[in-house]
Structure 1
Amino acid sequence: MFRMFALCLCWWCLTGVFGESVSVTEGDSITLNTDTQILKVDIQWKFGAENSIIAKIKLKLQIFSTIDNTLNGRFRDRLKLDNQTGSLTIMNIRSEHAGDYKVLITGEKLTTKSFSVSVYARLPVPVLIFNSSQCSSSVQYCSVLCSVVNVSAVSLSWYKGNSLLSSISVSDLSISLSLPLEVEYQDNNTYSCVINNTISNHTTHLDIHTLCELYEGHPGSLLVLISAAGSLLIISAVGIFYICRKHRKTDQEVEIQSEITYAETVFSKRRVYKSIKTYNLRSAQYKEMFCHLMLILRRI
């Protein structure tokens, strides 16, 4: 029993097995270090459960190469081998490159070093929008929605200063996330929405006065708009009444002038033309005022 234990301990000392976990963002580059200098050693890099060879160094034959056609070209034009240390760099990494890597260093003793590489998608920036589907019961409050799309293995959170208010998480599924927040218009605290995963995060800060007043309008501003709209309605009603009355008077003038002599008829026609021209001008003016009124009402 003692001999078996001693043999296993001796083998562990000779081989030297080490492991390391590494996380990286998709699209970045990562270097897996051998922590050695090439003097009289051979190096072989393997990937996955099948131990597929993806790079190797043989000093006696002066071979320093990466193997692009392994695994149907998964690593083509992405591997770079350091001829001095044997370290391997994976460039523009993708999710398909996540997994277990192993390097065999053969010299005076056999050293094996393994790496577990996790690849995370690049995080989007949280977007803040006015939450019209959740109208507040009080005009003193504004409802805001923080949203991100096509994310996985992340958390989305609202913070008030450095204090966590609420949070939601998703596992490996690629979905969209939304997290609501209701704040007072007069609130001067700092609010921020944060998305994060194991290795990175993005933050968007809430500007209450800009976002909420842009979509909803401050209660005081709303009263001013309503008052202005009411005034324009009264002016429009008076204008329409005046136009109708003027139009009725013009029709009566035309009937009276038809019974006068030829010379007077010519004079009367000029007056009628002048009245009609004035009528058309004022109609256009009131029509323009009415269009402005409708535009203001839509904004309200």
Structure 2
Amino acid sequence: MSLKLVWFCLCFWRVDGVFGDEVKSVSEGDSVTLNFDLSEIHDEDQFQWGFGNETLLVEINEQTDRFSVNDNVLDGRFRDKLKLDNQTGSLTITNITTEHAGRYLLLKCGANPSSKAFRVSVYARLPVPVISRNCSSSLSSSSEQNCSLVCSVVNVSHVTLSWYKGNSLLSSISVSDLSISLSLPLEVEYQDKNSYSCVLNNPISNQTQNLDITRLCHTCEDSVHCCGSTEAVIRLVLSALVGVATVILLVYDIRSRRAEQDQT
């Protein structure tokens, strides 16, 4: 089949059936199969699997019972990832990544052209949320009665981060297509016996971190216990720097006054 006819079929489908896409959602690293059954087709025509509007991936010739896979397109994006079932015509993309997300077209070219379309969404694998003591709130007046916490994740997109008390949703925050870091605060009483969990989810999967109140929420005498040794060291260093700066300014002021007196 000529390249001209290939583009004719693609253009035909692009106009027809735009709203009939079958949606497939999958996580990075998994495989997805775009199902089709050639046994239901009785015409001895040629079929093509395409990606987007202009990329030909597979040609299937029913008349000669031959097929060809073109996986070197788009700078090798599909190299060694396409598996065709030559009995059914189904196409499998293995070890999928976000660059394989998009629209896949199965085109029947000939006197009576027809088409079938799939919309594939690929989601990054979710990290496990991290729950820690919220040191920025450790000196607030409410910290005497409540334990201030924060649940956080880094470099995520198309996700929702939520706090749950048992099965009840307390709060949530979402991000769409931007890859950013998320954090969600929570305050509980030190003696709270309820179960809390932080959940990160996208449309196809989720990761849950349960709160251990006994480990993270306990009364404390100093910032080492409240915020951890790293934060305490940082605070001590900052305090020392402020003290040194104060001494330097005081010495400079005294010398300036003595110099003025000597000149007088």
**Structure 1-normalised TM-score?**
0.62
| Aligned-partner Cα distance in 1 for 2:58–2:50 | 7
What SS does the aligned partner of 2:144 have? coil
Where does residue 197 of structure 1 map in the other structure?
Answer: 202
The 3-state SS of whatever aligns with 1:133 is helix
Match of 1:172 among 177, 191, 195: 177
Query: Does residue 136 of structure 2 align to residue 133 of structure 1?
Result: yes
Q: Which residue pairs with 2:46 in the alignment?
A: 42
Contact 2:45 2:63 in 1 (8 A): no
One-letter code aligned to 2:171: S
1:80-229 to structure 2, matched below 5 A, reads 80-105=83-108, 109-135=112-138, 136-137=140-141, 138-213=143-218, 218=219, 222=221
Alpha-carbon distance in 2 for matches of 1:208, 1:16: 54
Match of 1:63 in 2: 66
Shift of 1:149: 0.3
Q: Aligned residue for 2:32?
A: 30
- CA gap of 1:107–1:33, structure 2 versus 1, over 3 A, is farther
The alpha carbon displacement at 1:107 in A equals 7.8
* Paired letter, 1:93: I
Q: d(CA) in 2 for partners of 1:187 and 1:126?
A: 21
Question: Structure 1 46/194 Cα, relative in aligned 2: closer, same or farther at 3 Å?
Answer: same
Deviation at 1:179, TM superposition (A): 0.6
Aligned 8 A contact 1:16 1:111 in 2 = no
Deviations 1:146-186 (A, max 9, x none): 00000011111111111111111112111100111110111
Shift of 1:139: 2.6
Q: SS at the partner of 1:210?
A: helix
Deviations 1:252-294 (A, max 9, x none): xxxxxxxxxxxxxxxxxxxxxxxxxxxxxxxxxxxxxxxxxxx
Structure 1: stretches of 5+ with no match in the other structure: 1-11, 224-297
Greater relative CO (CA pairs within 8 A, separation 6+): 2
| Percentage of identical aligned residues | 63
Partners in 2 of 1:49 and 1:16 — Cα distance? 14
Instruction: Decide whether the 8 Å contact of 1:65 with 1:81 is kept in 2.
Output: no
Q: Following the alignment from structure 2 to structure 1, what is the Cα–Cα distance between the partners of residues 176 and 150?
A: 21
In the aligned structure 1, how far is the partner of 2:171 from the partner of 2:17? 47
Q: What is the aligned residue count?
A: 204
Structure (1/2) with the larger helix percentage: 1
Query: 1:19 maps to what in 2?
Result: 21
Match of 2:57, SS state, is strand
Q: Name the aligned partner's letter for residue 28 of structure 1.
A: D
1:79 maps to what in 2? 82
Per the TM alignment, residue 63 of structure 1 is displaced from its structure 2 partner at its CA by 2.1
Which one-letter code corresponds to 2:26 in the other structure? V
> Structure 2: how far apart are the matches of 1:108 and 1:86?
20
Tell me by how many angstroms 1:41 deviates. Answer: 4.6
SS at match of 2:215: helix
C-alpha separation between the residues in 2 aligned to 1:24 and 1:54?
Answer: 20
TM-score between both structures, scaled by the size of structure 2: 0.70
Structure number with greater Rg is 1
Q: Deviations over 1:66-113 (max 9, x none)?
A: 112212211101100001110000011111111111001358953300
2: distance between equivalents of 1:67 and 1:94? 18
Secondary structure class of the residue paired with 1:76: coil
Partner amino acid, structure 2, of 1:25: S
Deviation at 1:35, TM superposition (A): 3.8
Q: Which is worse superposed, 103-112 or 123-132?
A: 103-112
- 1:116 offset after TM fit, Å? 1.2
Q: CA RMSD in A?
A: 2.5
Alpha-carbon distance in structure 1 between the residues aligned to 2:47 and 2:89: 7
